[in-house]
Amino acid sequence: MPLWLIYHPTGTFEDVASKESFAKDITSAYVGWGLPAFYVIVNFIKLTGTDMYIGGRPNTGNPFIRLRVDHIAVRLDDDDAAYNRVTASIDKILKPHIEDKGYDWEYHIDETERRLWKIQGLAPPPFKSEEEKVWIEQNKPSPWENSE
């Protein structure tokens, strides 16, 4: 499960179309990497005036977007090239929605142990397994042999 928390100031991502476009691009990337679409969760968290502080001061300058991405479904190998591929892919997703609009931004990605993750009380099947292919096809979780 990738969970994206997008903290943004008033005046950015105000309309449904901009949020939907961004969420679709995020989801498309993960689907392209082999995950079910319903694994991808994107939350837009609007911060007003003095809700965001940078360096101990309210951010009153250029809009600043802070992203937190949690990865659980698949963990990366401890390999610099793998990390670079993922961050390059994230950068590509962000470009039209953040960079091209002239916003400032920062993100980080946390990886959580997959064994600590359940969806509707079910442990997800292994990545790219036959059982996960069923979840992809149904676009929802369903019981499987080792789902408890």
139 shares its domain with 76:
no
- 89, amino acid identity: S
pLDDT band at 142; cut points 50, 70, 90: very high
Task: Give which of 40, 36, 47 is closest to 13, Cα–Cα.
Answer: 47
User: Domain with 45 in it: what CATH number?
Assistant: 3.30.429.10
- pLDDT greater than 80 at residue 146: no
Residue 44 to residue 51: CA distance in whole angstroms: 15
Q: What pLDDT sits at residue 147?
A: 67
Q: Supply 34's token pair.
A: 């082999």
Average pLDDT over residues 124-144: 94
Q: Quick one: 66 and 128 in the same domain?
A: no
Identify whether residues 103 and 135 lie together within a single domain: no
pLDDT digits (tens, 9 = 90+) for 31-89: 999 999 999 999 999 998 789 999 999 988 899 999 999 999 998 889 999 999 999 99
Q: Say what the pTM is.
A: 0.93
Burial class of residue 11 (count of CB atoms within 10 Å of its CB; 0-12, 13-18, 19+): exposed
| Residues 12 and 77 both lie in one domain | yes
Q: What is the pLDDT of residues 14-24, one digit of tens each?
A: 999 999 999 99
Tell me how many domains the chain contains.
2
Within this chain, do residues 87 and 131 fall inside the same structural domain, yes or no? no
pLDDT in tens, 88-128: 999 999 999 999 999 999 999 999 999 999 999 999 999 99
Q: Which domain covers residue 34, as residue numbers?
A: 2-117
Same domain, 8 and 19: yes
Are 9 and 77 members of one domain?
yes
Please state, in angstroms and as integers, the Cα–Cα distance from residue 5 to each residue in 24, 26, 55, 100, 126, following that order: 15, 12, 21, 20, 25
